[in-house]
Amino acid sequence: MHLQPYEKVGFRERQTDHTPFVYKDEQWERCNMIIRKNHRNGYIRRLPVCMVMIMLSVSLLLTGCVSGEGEQKKAGRNLMDAYFKNAGIKASVETIYADVTRPAADRLEMSDYVKGTYRLGKESYEFWANVETGSIYTSERLMEFGESILKLQANRLGLDAAHCTCYAAVTIEPEFTGEMGNSRGQTDTVTLNDVLPVSITDMDAFAKEALESEYVSVRSFIVCRNNPLNSDAEELSFPEWKNGQITICEMSDQSTELPTDKYEILHFWSEHRDVCMDLKFEE
């Protein structure tokens, strides 16, 4: 039987929580451990003090213990429920996690955000919510954002937007939202990926602002039919657009419908890169 390193010095798992909190692109489980008795002589195996301290530090690091996490999630759920009610939509939170940042290798800090998913009809959407400011960001209008980005970029690229579809991956830095710190005086480094403010009233205006902001990165994936790729497109420059990239793909099969959502567009791009062209924003 293969023993884990911690088992060799007397520890064993007592309880493992398989519903982890999310940190960036990682998912962390919580594991509670106890030290077992030495069955031969009946006493608890003694360990050097330094080893015990190291193990405790590692245990705290891996379990990600952050005080107030439960209260944060409760506040976030209440905020989302109030948003659903005020917006008049029949949605419900599916998953929710307190957002945790790591300002140092040995320390975790809780930001003012919660994140998770909610169910609206048959669809599931991602959300981020700031429990202190009340700001809410969701992925619900992501394809609408792509349509607005397509309008702006199609004109510059000589494409007929009526024969194209677009998914625009967006990353928003805290400098853009104005939420650069938290209620505990700590500095957050929270970036928002593929979610948009629910407060947007004019999507076309927001798309233009996003393209022109140095604190927002937009990578658009455009799939077109009846729009041959322009070989001169690589020579185009976009000085007013600050951060991002355009990927244009040509669909030659006239009998196939254009992809309609994020995952279909990304699947087409991954399977047909030979008919795609990448253009980067460079001043």
Residue 260 pLDDT more than 80? yes
Question: Range with the lowest mean pLDDT among 39-43, 76-80, 122-126, 160-164?
Answer: 39-43
Whole-angstrom distance, CA of residue 15 vs CA of residue 34? 9
Alpha helices in 64-139 (DSSP H): 69-87
Whole-angstrom distance, CA of residue 226 vs CA of residue 254? 8
Q: Determine the pLDDT at residue 52.
A: 46
Question: Range with the lowest mean pLDDT among 35-49, 228-242, 244-258, 268-282?
Answer: 35-49
Look up residue 258 and give its two tokens: 């254009």
As a whole number, the mean pLDDT across the chain is: 78
Question: Range with the lowest mean pLDDT among 7-21, 69-83, 203-217?
Answer: 7-21
Q: Under CATH, what is the fold of the domain 69-138? A: Nuclear Transport Factor 2; Chain: A, (3.10.450)
The distance of Cα 264 from the centroid of its chain, to the nearest Å, equals: 19
Q: Determine the pLDDT at residue 241.
A: 83
- Enumerate the β-bridge partners of residue 127: 116, 138
Q: Who contacts 21 (Cβ-Cβ below 8 Å, separation ≥6)?
A: 27, 28, 64, 69, 97, 98, 100
Look up residue 269 and give its two tokens: 């791009």
Neighbours of 137 (CB within 10 A): 23
The distance of Cα 96 from the centroid of its chain, to the nearest Å, equals: 13
Q: Determine the pLDDT at residue 25.
A: 44
Residue 146 pLDDT more than 80? yes
Neighbours of 82 (CB within 10 A): 12
Domain boundaries, the chain: 5-63, 69-138, 143-280
At 66, the pLDDT band (50, 70, 90 cuts) reads low
Whole-angstrom distance, CA of residue 221 vs CA of residue 273? 11
* Mean pLDDT value across residues 84-110: 84
DSSP-derived letter for residue 44 is B
